DNA sequence: TACACATGTCTTTTATAAGAGACAAATTGT
DNA sequence: ACAATTTGTCTCTTATAAAAGACATGTGTA
């Protein structure tokens, strides 16, 4: 509890220091925060800790959690007094998949590509302005490059990010990318202009390869999935060891681009 | 705990129309209704219609939908002004699956069983007191017995229902089953005592077979999945033509019960 | 045994979000 | 071309839900 670790407790990089904590919050917003919190912790949590975690009053948290549990969006987990996501969210999620050709077929293509190549493969999309891994299939390598589904990563850190922003105006891109997004995990800092240049390149070549961006050991190959001419709706990507040979990389790129193109047609 | 207050006008099932319409509703409740509405319609819908559908003021609906879209729980669908479930719900749903051994393994067993037998196979659970198909795999028959995932059906209509209530007190069962639940789709009416008798039988035999309950053409075989000794957490079931031979049925039952038992061990 | 600190429930106060309704702009139909 | 709807945004009011906090239990530990 109470790991002082994060200076954090700044829930969102909002405009200005909103009216000091302590102000009354809309119930729905609290719920949204609860969901995000559970999504990041990825485990069941006690209601008291949850209240601390989302910085909400205990009494409020109890009432909200009760509503959500009654509705089936949350469930009391195993031993008794912990909560986590509930069946209803799973059902709604399946509804989303069913209603979404791209995702349904994309998951399939990703699974197939991963089996075909043995490499980790992922389907990525923009999720409220951020890069999100929507589905991933682990591949067969002894060392797994694990990146959790639903993880959100700054756009400039990834090959997919460069493709997802293709076709946007410079201003839009600037809006989407914050200063800190340009700082890589190892401390290096990208120049915004370089990033925008990358985007333009990716757009014209129809794919993007980045090496050692998120970590020093991997290379990322990405190809765009179009929902309409010029509109990049998603990307498929492969995560491979950084020392993968030129030939092997090109070979993988062909397979990747084939599948990404196949996904594009109907959507 | 707290059953004294129970008079509570349950937001439950039932048309329930407007209880003294005009009363103000909590935003969160409206959101829950919106989700349920989308879940039943299974398609994107305009905001105006949505407001009508959940019987909420238009202005309120607009604000709520905007919040939800911003949060990614809903998405504006294809052509422009329709909404449906969003990526976030999918991601949360995947979180649920990940955190839930039973569901993860259950889906696998159901898929395997369906491939092995060629019949439609389902994983079912209680969802806030109602029978719910949590996962289903269609089988290979020319005529598909389709029943949507997430569909909620009165407990007495199903074989699984009899197993899911095994181990509950008579009083609890009476609470869960309403009068109308006892009326089958074809108009026949079950006697509560018969139903409770079925439950006891199912409990001791460790499986349940029903014929022509929901419709006249199918037979349903179900086996319990235990989360603890005596506690039925879910059921696996097979939906087969009603004229399936005795031998064939027994054979399928063996396979089904094997897999259901396998699911039970670790949870 | 007593102490400190969680958990879960209830009551009260007041800041505020839900709702009604007016509007302009876009979309119909005739 | 002209109603007749529907859509999306805004303003204002007041019913009400969020929050504070008291209380009764529970759980751990010194």
Chain D bases closer than 7 A to any CB of the protein: 6-11, 15-22
Q: Are A257 and A207 in contact (CB under 8 A)?
A: yes
Place of tokens 């990405």: A222
Distance set, CA B201 to CA A230, B40, B163, B176, B247 (Å): 62, 34, 9, 19, 21
Class of domain B100-266: alpha beta
At residue B10, φ and ψ (nearest 5 deg) are: -65, 130
Phi, psi values for residue A77, rounded to 5°: -85, 155
Residue A7 has pLDDT above 80, yes or no: no
B231-241/B120-127 β-pairing: antiparallel
Per-residue pLDDT at B30: 94
Query: Binning pLDDT at 50, 70 and 90, where does residue A81 land?
Result: confident
Q: CB contacts < 8 Å between A and B, how many?
A: 135
Q: How many residues does chain A have?
A: 267
Per the CB < 8 A criterion, the answer to whether B173 and B162 are in contact is no
Please name the residue of chain A whose CA is at the shortest distance from the CA of residue B103.
A87
Q: How confident is the model at residue A139 (pLDDT cuts 50, 70, 90)?
A: confident
Residue A147 has pLDDT above 70, yes or no: no
pLDDT digits (tens, 9 = 90+) for A160-203: 999 999 888 888 888 889 898 999 888 899 999 999 999 999 99
Task: Read off the pLDDT of each residue in A29-57 and give the average, rounded to a whole number.
Answer: 92
Is the domain spanning B27-90 CATH 3.40.50.300? The answer is no
Per-residue tokens: A253: 């790129």
A244: tokens are 């993968």
- Residue B2 contacts strand C, CB under 7 A: yes
Confirm or reject contact between A73 and chain B (CB < 8 A).
Answer: yes
Residues 6+ apart with CB under 8 A from B73: A32, A35, B85, B86, B88, B89
The residues of chain A that CATH labels 1.10.10.10 are 1-92
Kindly tell me the number of DSSP H helices and DSSP E strands found in chain B. Answer: 9, 9
Q: What is the pLDDT of residue A11?
A: 35
Q: Do A85 and B99 touch (CB under 8 A)?
A: yes
What architecture (CATH level 2) is domain A1-92?
Orthogonal Bundle (1.10)
Check if B98 contacts A (Cβ < 8 Å).
yes
CATH 3.30.450.40 maps onto chain A at 100-266
Supply the pLDDT for residue B12: 33
Q: Per-residue pLDDT for chain B (267 aa), expressed as one digit of tens each?
A: 333 222 223 333 233 333 333 478 888 999 999 999 999 888 899 999 999 999 999 999 999 999 999 999 999 987 778 999 999 999 999 999 988 889 999 999 999 999 999 999 999 998 877 899 999 888 887 665 556 677 788 999 999 999 999 888 888 888 888 888 999 888 899 999 999 999 999 999 999 999 988 888 889 999 999 987 788 989 999 999 888 999 999 999 999 999 999 998 654
pLDDT at B9: 33
Closest C-alpha to B224, from B239, B206, B245: B206
The dihedral through the CA atoms of B78, B84, B88, B90 has a sign that is negative
């Amino acid at each position: 509890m109470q790991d002082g670790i994060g200076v954090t407790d700044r829930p969102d990089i909002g405009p200005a220091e909103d009216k000091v904590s302590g102000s009354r919050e809309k119930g729905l917003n609290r719920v949204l925060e609860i969901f995000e919190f559970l999504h990041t912790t990825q485990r069941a949590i006690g209601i008291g800790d949850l209240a601390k975690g989302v910085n909400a009053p205990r009494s409020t948290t109890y009432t909200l959690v009760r509503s959500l549990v009654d509705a089936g969006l949350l469930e009391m987990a195993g031993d008794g007094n912990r909560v986590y996501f509930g069946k209803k969210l799973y059902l709604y999620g399946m509804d989303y998949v069913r209603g979404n050709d791209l995702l349904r077929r994309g998951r399939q293509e990703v699974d197939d590509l991963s089996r075909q190549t043995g490499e980790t493969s992922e389907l990525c999309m923009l999720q409220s302005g951020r890069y999100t891994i929507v589905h991933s299939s682990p591949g067969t390598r002894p060392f797994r490059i694990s990146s959790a589904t639903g993880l959100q990563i700054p756009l400039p850190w990834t090959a997919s990010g460069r493709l997802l922003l293709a076709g946007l105006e410079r201003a839009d891109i600037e809006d989407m990318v914050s200063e800190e997004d340009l700082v890589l995990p190892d401390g290096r800092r990208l120049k915004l202009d370089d990033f925008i240049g990358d985007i333009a390149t990716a757009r014209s070549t129809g794919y993007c390869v980045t090496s050692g961006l998120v970590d020093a050991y991997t290379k990322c190959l990405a190809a765009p999935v179009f929902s309409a001419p010029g509109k990049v709706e998603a990307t498929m990507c492969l995560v491979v060891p950084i020392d993968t040979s030129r030939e092997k990389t090109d070979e993988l790129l062909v397979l990747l681009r084939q599948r990404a193109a196949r996904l594009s047609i109907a959507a």
